[in-house]
Amino acid sequence: MAEGGPAAAIGVCRDSAPAIAAKLSRGSGASISRVSARFRNPQNHPEPWQQTVLEQFEITLAAEPDTDVGTLEYFLPEQQGGARYLKAIAVAPLCLTCHGVTLPDAVSTQLGEDYPHDRATGYQLWELRGAF
């Protein structure tokens, strides 16, 4: 953001975030990724179980509006010794630059080029963005 502004940061997020997730996955033995019901990158679409959990997070937030989104978690141990885990991602102030209701023209243009079917805008501060 500091070097090239928000439009340039879109490329960093597009390229760096998956690389970071892959490195963390290799180092931990877990499969680490980001998912969202309103994804920007089709590769970040939720699996059915993840979609169900994201919907449950939304139900919790609707029933308990004072809930801190960042505290929402899901954990399910699996019989083979693994587990399924999701940690909610809240829309923080900086996120609104590229995910908010009103976007700078340069951001809108870049998103249109990089993500022509983008579904990840229109968020309000502290809403549920997705999960890790």
| pLDDT exceeds 80 at position 1 | no
User: Starting at the edge strand that comes first in sequence, how are the strands of the sheet with 73-77 ordered?
Assistant: 73-77, 83-90, 128-131
Q: pLDDT, tens digit, for every residue of 78-105?
A: 988 889 999 999 999 999 999 999 999 9
Mean pLDDT of 2-29: 84
Nearest CA among 117, 108, 127 for reference residue 41: 117
pLDDT of residue 64: 95
pLDDT of residue 41: 85
Which residue's structure tokens are 């879109």? 10
d(CA 98, CA 7): 8
pLDDT of residue 8: 80
pLDDT of residue 15: 84
Helix ranges restricted to H, the chain: 5-28, 48-63, 96-99, 105-114
Mean pLDDT of 19-34: 89
Q: pLDDT, tens digit, for every residue of 54-74?
A: 999 999 999 999 999 999 999
Q: pLDDT, tens digit, for every residue of 104-127?
A: 999 999 999 999 999 999 999 999
